[in-house]
A = this chain, B = another copy of it.
Amino acid sequence: MSDFSHIDKSGKAGMVDVGDKAETDRVAVARGFVHMSDETLEAIEQRRIVKGEVLQVARVAGIMGSKRTAELIPMCHTLPLDNVKVAFRSMPEAGGLAIEASARCRGKTGVEMEALTAVSVAALTVYDMCKSMDKAMHIGDIHLVKKTGGKSGEFVHPS
């Protein structure tokens, strides 16, 4: 493809070629946080949000979003996920709702983007369902908690 690069120096950029990598069992865990008022958090816990049961809807959205990671993130590989979980934790002392997602697959590349996408879509869904009562919400601290499998071995976030 050498002739194809003279106006396009980044010709080798793109997806990472994983064709020569071995399949291993991979797990990734990610977290995020939706900052909100105490009133909003209580309304979620007491299932009073008009648009529906926020955590149920956000869990489904996170799981479904995770399965579409490779459609959203340009250089991600399509992975057949073995599992995705999304869970929530009310943290009034920290001013909001924590979200945790884990993703698992047997594949040639990691599943951290799938876990991070699950958290992001779940967080956006929480925001969408509560925004009529709390426009000052914000989504923060989306990060990889840990990841196992693959050549680089286990990673645990330093924080």
User: Chain A: residues with CB nearer than 8 A to chain B?
Assistant: 1, 3-8, 10-19, 25, 32, 44-45, 47, 50-53, 55-57, 59-61, 63-65, 67-68, 70-90, 98, 100, 102, 104-108, 112-113, 116-117, 120-121, 123-125, 127-129, 131, 135-144, 155, 157-159
Work out how many copies of this chain go into the complex: 6
A-B contacts, 11 listed (Cβ < 8 Å): A13-B53, A17-B104, A56-B60, A72-B121, A73-B124, A73-B128, A120-B124, A137-B143, A138-B141, A138-B143, A139-B142
Contacts of A87 in B (CB 8 A): 1, 4-5, 8, 11
CA of A85 to CA of B51, assembled, Å? 11
Given the complex of chains A and B, what is the CA–CA distance between A71 and B112 in angstroms? Answer: 20
A123 / chain B contacts, CB cutoff of 8 Å:
120, 142
Contact across chains for B141 and A85 when beta carbons are under 8 A apart? no
In the assembled complex, the Cα of A124 lies from the Cα of B142 at a distance in Å of 10
CB-defined contacts of A60 to chain B, threshold 8 Å: 56-57, 60-61, 74
Say whether, besides A113-B124, A113-B128, A85 and B14 are in contact (CB < 8 Å). yes
